[in-house]
Every structure is written in structure tokens, then in C-alpha cells.
């Protein structure tokens, strides 16, 4: 008996020692990489990365097994356009770091840097993570500036969420932005081109210290704005432009020919299907909500559920997911894109690989392949089905707790008749 106890102790110890190696066994694996979809495969995770993905259910010794028979395995999904970590409760509930008011450091909004505002303790992070989302782009949601500032790319962990500060620059040229920017697109676009020219000038001459405070600067943008645009003007940082109307999208395509280095991504894009071929030719990807199908304004009259599928057919790279508290529903959005003409593989890519590519994270995130970071999700079934759910979520090779403030509230109230006040019931 004593020997058995010792053996068990050893086993327990070895498990904790080996908690760096996991085998997700026998699931249908959508790798989103060159390995395609494997009907029954095993994903081996070691030291935070994918060690291998092999067909079958064989597991070498020394791996903690996670049974995925009959289940579906995908890369961790990526929130394509969110304000995660920047907002807890948006309305009448205190500070929100996803909206801006005027400040002299910026005249156009480009200087804003949300990376200082990311709150790792936000309840949105576990709530989103336990539904299969492991990372996200996050930025300003509401601003009257033309530019919405520099967004960040985060992982949905409780510690050190910031993977890439200043990961993108956001801008809006739709109806409401025109109304804020001098009341007309006639002002907005002139201002935008002027700002980009100033940034280009500043970037070209920055080695000569032209932007030190003792030098004169007479830009429309502040010198901090211009500096924030260096990486954008050189194409190192994507420029996300919110636009819907066909004419606006054509203006954006024109902007790209004028500033060829710009790495432009169009956000929202309800009329994009009408110029799909041109977007494909200009290699401009799109981030959209495929469920948006109403003429909510005079620049979204073409909105249709078929948008995502039509763009895919034309060869446009599509990402799905514009939300914050419920970015977790992007799987449902993608499923509805499939129901309305998008291919299943493209819909999965729209939640993972395409998002990673848009943000330049594709070497580590967005697909499952040897050496990629082990952000892996095991689903009860098809992740795009509303009645299925994530069951295991790995980030950086570590399992995450499938618990959130919402599950704790649920568990407290599952039984209403208690002999003590609810405050004493600790789930």
C-alpha cells in the first residue's frame, strides 16, 4: 500500500512537471495551414508551441491527454476589431479607455496610443477567452477625430496581455466621420491627404531632428501625430479605414495608388461587394460583420448578407468580427456568412488566419503548424454552430480556466432556494 501511495505521488508529481506537454487527441483538426483539415488527428503541444500535428490518435509518452474524439480543434480565434481591455461597461458607468475627448497632444487623433489603457483584469477577457478567442486587435471605439489612434494586439490572458503595442492605425471616412470632419467628404479627404503628406515628409526627414520642440512645425497634425504615422506611411503598420459606400471605397483604392506603401484594410465595408474585383486587385483586405444587411444610413444602402461570400469569390481576404463585449459571437456571424454563400474554410480563416495576416501576426498565430504558438481550442462540435461551444482553450501552450464572472453568477443562482442569503453562496 505504501508503495502504491509513493507511485501515485510520483505520478502526480510527474504530471505537474510535465504540464508543459499536452496532446489533444483524435479530433477533427482544422489547421488553417498547409496541412488542411484532418478528420482524426492529434495535436502535440510542447513548451508553448505546436510540436506536431499527426493523423490518428497515437500519443507518445509523457503528454497530458485531452480527448478530442468526435470534437473539433481549431486555432484560437482572433477578435478582428474590438475594444477588449479598454472598456468594462460602456455607458454611464465610469471611465472608458475606448473613447476620446479633445486633447492638445493631437489635432487629428493619430497620436492616441491605447496600449497604455489595456486592463488585464477586465472581466471581458475570461468571458471572451472561454468561448474560443485567444487574442484580439483592440482600439478606440468612439472618437470625433478623423483618426481613431493606434490600436494594440493583445492575447486574452490575465497577465501581460500586450503582444504588440501600436499594432495598427485606425481611421474612418464614412458618413459620420465626414460630418465630424468639416461636414463634408470634400474636407475630410483633403485633410487626410494633407496629413499623410505631412507624415511622409516628417518620416523622410526625421533623422535631421526636424521634429524637436525647438524646430517650427506648421502641420495640420501635431508633430506627435506625424510621428505616430511613420510606420503607417512606410507600410509597416496596417491602416484600418472604416468605410461603407462604394464611392468611399474607390477613394481608398485611389489613396493606395497615391501612397503605394500604405497597408490598407477596410473595416465595415457594406458596399464592398460592388467593387470586389478592384479590392482584390489592390490586395486590400476587409474586416466586416456579415450579418449587417440594413440601409442604416445613406452610405450603407447596398448592405447584404451576401457581402462576405461575394468578396471571397472575388479573391478578397475577409476577416469577420467587429464587436467588443460579444466578439465571442463572431463564430455565429461567420456561420451566417456560410449560410449566405461564403465557403466554410474561408469563414474559419476569417476568424483566424486572415486576421493574423492583417496584423502581421501570421508567423505565430492564426493557424496550427509546427512551431506556431499553441493557441488551440477544442470545440464540442462545429464552432460555427450556435449550439456548440468551446470546451478547452489553450493560450501559449497552457490550458486556461473555463470560468468567468458569468459562470460564477450562473452557478450561484442555479438553485434559488437556499437556507442563507445568496451572498453566502460561493460557487
Partner 1 sequence: MNYKNKPTWMLAAITATILSTTTLVGCGDDADSQIQTTTTDKVVINPDPFPSTYTPIPSTTTLITNVTIIDGIGGMQANSQILMADGKIIGLGADIDTPDDVTIIDGAGKYVTPGIIDTHSHLGVYPSPDTRSHADGNEMTSPVTAQVWAEHSVWPQDPGFQRALAGGVTALQILPGSANLFGGRSVVLKNLPDRTVQDMKFPDAPYGIKMACGENPKRVYGKKGGPATRMANVAGYRKAWIGAAEYKAKWEQYEADVEAGKDVKAPKRDLNNETLKGVLDGDIIVHMHCYRADEMVVMMDVMKEFNYQIGSFHHAVEGYKIADKLAQNNVCASMWADWWGFKLEAYDAIRENIPMVHAAGACAVVHSDSDIGIQRLNQEAAKAWSDGRRAGIDISQADAWQWLAANPAKSLGIFDQTGSLEVGKNADVVLWSADPFSTYAQAEKVYIDGGLAFDRSAPDTWPVSDFELGQIGEGDHK
Residues that bind partner 1 (CB under 8 A): 88-93, 124, 246, 271, 274, 291-298, 301-306, 325-326, 328-329, 332, 335-336, 338-341, 384-389, 406-407, 409-410, 413-414, 416-417, 422
State how far the Cα of 239 lies from the Cα of 51, in Å rounded to an integer.
34
Least CB distance from residue 277 to partner 1, whole Å?
Answer: 17
Residue closer to partner 1 (CB basis): 113 or 144: 144
State how far the Cα of 385 lies from the Cα of 334, in Å rounded to an integer.
9
Nearest Cα neighbor of 112 from 80, 85, 135, 146 is: 146
Least CB distance from residue 72 to partner 1, whole Å?
Answer: 14
State how far the Cα of 354 lies from the Cα of 370, in Å rounded to an integer.
18
Residue closer to partner 1 (CB basis): 144 or 388: 388
Residue closer to partner 1 (CB basis): 250 or 306: 306
Nearest Cα neighbor of 352 from 305, 317, 326, 315 is: 317
Residue closer to partner 1 (CB basis): 172 or 336: 336
**Residue pair 157/395 in contact by the 8 Å Cβ criterion:** yes
Residue closer to partner 1 (CB basis): 36 or 427: 427
Least CB distance from residue 294 to partner 1, whole Å?
Answer: 4
Residue closer to partner 1 (CB basis): 30 or 164: 30
Q: Where are the alpha helices (DSSP H) in 369-416?
A: 405-413
Least CB distance from residue 339 to partner 1, whole Å?
Answer: 5
Least CB distance from residue 164 to partner 1, whole Å?
Answer: 25
Residues 6+ apart with CB under 8 A from 282: 253, 256, 257, 264
From the centroid of its chain, how far is CA 277? 25
The terminus-to-terminus CA distance of the chain in angstroms comes to: 35
Residue closer to partner 1 (CB basis): 18 or 96: 96
Burial class (CB in 10 A: 0-12, 13-18, 19+), 220: middle
Residue closer to partner 1 (CB basis): 12 or 184: 184
Least CB distance from residue 406 to partner 1, whole Å?
Answer: 5
CA distances from 64 to 43, 60, 171, 397 (A): 12, 10, 46, 12
Residues 6+ apart with CB under 8 A from 191: 108, 146, 181, 182, 220
Least CB distance from residue 416 to partner 1, whole Å?
Answer: 5
Tell me which H or E stretch contains 115.
Answer: none
Least CB distance from residue 34 to partner 1, whole Å?
Answer: 28
Amino acid at each position: 500500500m505504501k508503495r502504491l501511495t509513493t507511485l501515485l505521488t510520483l505520478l502526480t508529481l510527474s504530471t505537474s512537471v510535465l504540464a508543459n506537454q499536452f496532446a489533444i487527441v483524435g479530433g477533427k483538426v482544422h489547421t488553417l495551414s498547409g496541412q488542411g483539415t484532418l478528420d482524426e488527428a492529434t495535436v502535440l503541444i510542447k513548451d508553448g508551441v505546436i510540436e506536431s500535428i499527426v493523423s490518428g490518435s497515437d500519443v507518445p509518452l509523457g503528454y497530458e491527454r485531452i480527448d478530442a474524439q468526435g470534437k473539433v480543434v481549431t486555432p484560437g480565434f482572433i477578435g478582428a476589431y474590438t475594444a477588449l481591455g479598454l472598456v468594462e461597461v460602456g455607458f454611464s458607468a465610469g471611465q472608458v479607455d475606448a473613447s476620446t475627448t479633445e486633447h492638445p497632444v493631437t489635432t487629428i487623433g493619430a497620436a492616441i496610443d491605447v496600449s497604455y489603457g489595456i486592463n488585464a483584469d477586465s472581466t471581458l477577457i475570461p468571458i471572451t477567452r472561454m468561448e474560443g478567442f485567444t487574442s484580439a486587435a483592440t482600439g478606440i471605439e468612439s472618437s470625433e477625430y478623423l483618426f481613431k489612434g493606434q490600436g494594440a494586439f493583445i492575447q486574452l490572458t490575465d497577465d501581460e496581455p500586450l503582444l504588440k503595442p501600436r499594432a495598427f492605425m485606425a481611421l474612418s471616412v464614412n458618413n459620420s466621420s465626414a460630418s465630424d470632419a468639416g461636414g463634408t467628404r470634400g474636407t475630410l479627404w483633403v485633410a487626410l491627404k494633407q496629413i499623410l503628406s505631412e507624415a511622409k515628409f516628417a518620416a523622410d526627414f526625421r533623422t535631421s531632428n526636424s521634429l524637436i520642440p525647438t524646430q517650427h512645425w506648421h502641420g495640420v497634425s501635431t508633430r506627435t501625430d506625424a510621428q505616430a504615422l511613420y510606420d503607417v506611411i512606410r507600410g509597416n503598420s496596417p491602416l484600418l479605414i472604416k468605410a461603407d459606400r462604394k464611392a468611399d471605397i474607390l477613394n481608398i483604392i485611389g489613396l493606395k495608388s497615391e501612397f503605394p506603401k500604405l497597408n490598407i484594410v477596410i473595416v465595415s465595408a457594406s458596399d464592398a461587394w460592388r467593387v470586389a474585383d478592384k479590392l482584390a486587385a489592390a490586395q486590400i483586405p476587409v474586416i466586416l460583420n456579415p450579418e449587417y444587411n440594413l440601409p442604416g444610413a445613406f452610405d450603407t444602402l447596398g448592405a447584404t448578407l451576401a457581402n462576405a461570400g461575394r468578396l471571397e469569390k472575388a479573391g478578397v481576404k475577409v476577416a469577420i468580427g467587429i464587436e467588443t463585449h460579444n466578439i465571442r459571437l463572431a463564430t455565429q456571424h461567420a456561420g451566417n456568412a456560410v449560410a449566405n454563400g461564403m465557403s466554410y474554410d474561408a469563414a474559419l480563416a476569417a476568424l483566424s488566419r486572415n486576421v493574423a495576416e492583417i496584423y502581421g501576426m501570421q508567423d505565430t498565430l492564426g493557424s496550427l503548424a509546427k512551431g506556431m504558438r499553441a493557441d488551440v481550442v477544442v470545440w464540442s462540435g462545429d464552432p460555427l454552430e450556435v449550439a456548440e461551444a468551446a470546451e478547452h482553450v489553450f493560450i501559449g501552450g497552457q490550458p486556461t480556466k473555463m470560468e468567468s464572472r458569468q459562470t460564477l453568477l450562473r452557478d450561484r443562482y442555479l438553485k434559488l432556494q437556499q437556507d442563507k442569503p445568496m451572498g453566502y453562496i460561493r460557487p
